[in-house]
Amino acid sequence: MGGSSRVEVGVVGIPAQPRSASAASRSPAVPLLALLCACASAGAVEPAGVPPAAMPPIVEHLLPWSTDRERLTVSYLRAHRTAPLTGNAEVDTRMVPRAIVLHWTAGPTASSAWHTFAPALLAGRADLADAGALNVGAHFLVDRDGTIERLADETRILRHCIGLNHVAIGIENVGGGVELPLTEAQVAANAALVRGLAARHPIEVLLGHLEYRRMESSPLFEERDPAYRTQKPDPGADFMVRVRAAVADLGLAAPPPQPP
């Protein structure tokens, strides 16, 4: 949008009189032909194009976005991002999503996960508290039956994956581990969601939380503190194999292999 408005400004800015006179003195056939060709080619290509994937059905169940959460998000980003912030909180807490990280909640219900993510302040997570008071969160929550809830705007930065929060959409899955293995319905819902998101944003990488440390060599990864790392098992290697198989045609990258 910005590009086309810049072009318009440029055209308007050109002194009109001499330019029109000069254009009128040349043959009008060339620009007219060019215009016709552009239309014809657009008409020929458009029907054959593949329409972008639609988003699957989603239940809106937004986490509160409060001034506290915004403030804590900015503090977190200031402490952890290597790129400078702009100083405008609304801008600094937004992102262009370039990665999708899949998780499991390790809890039994969507409701318990929602209520864990809803407060702005982190609680009961000693392993994360030193790195900031911002609560963890996710953009989407997929229930055991495949129901997808939207918890946050896709371009809002949430805390869910060290080093990648400023570029990554987080999808949480209810359950996980030996007790509550993730379901086929969750595989299908995650695949549909990834497909829809990849059609709406310049997504390059699909990863499981358990794979995030393999992203440390990626230019997408930003974390100031080399000691701030966690070991994550979610959402399981098998789940990643199944979701990746279902969206293989999208050509999304996986994280680079673990260095030896």
Query: How far, in Å, CA of 237 to CA of 159, rounded?
Result: 22
Tell me whether residue 92 or residue 105 sits nearer to Zn ion (CB atom): 105
- Taking CB under 5 A as the rule, does residue 211 contact Zn ion? no
- Taking CB under 5 A as the rule, does residue 244 contact Zn ion? no
Burial of residue 128, with CB atoms counted within 10 A of its CB: 0-12 exposed, 13-18 middle, 19 or more buried: middle
- 90-119: which residues touch Zn ion (CB under 5 A)? 103
- Taking CB under 5 A as the rule, does residue 166 contact Zn ion? no
Which residue type occupies 142? V
- Taking CB under 5 A as the rule, does residue 70 contact Zn ion? no
Least distance in Å: CB of 210 to Zn ion? Answer: 8
Query: How far, in Å, CA of 169 to CA of 160, rounded?
Result: 9
Query: How far, in Å, CA of 251 to CA of 202, rounded?
Result: 12
- Taking CB under 5 A as the rule, does residue 209 contact Zn ion? yes
Least distance in Å: CB of 205 to Zn ion? Answer: 16
- Applying CB under 5 A, among 234, 236, 244, 247 the residue interacting with Zn ion is 234
Tell me whether residue 103 or residue 156 sits nearer to Zn ion (CB atom): 103
Tell me whether residue 70 or residue 234 sits nearer to Zn ion (CB atom): 234
Residues in the chain: 260
Least distance in Å: CB of 234 to Zn ion? Answer: 4
How many C-beta atoms surround the C-beta of residue 247 within 10 A? 19
φ/ψ (deg, to 5) at 137: -165, -175
Binding residues for Zn ion, rule: CB under 5 A, are: 103, 209, 234
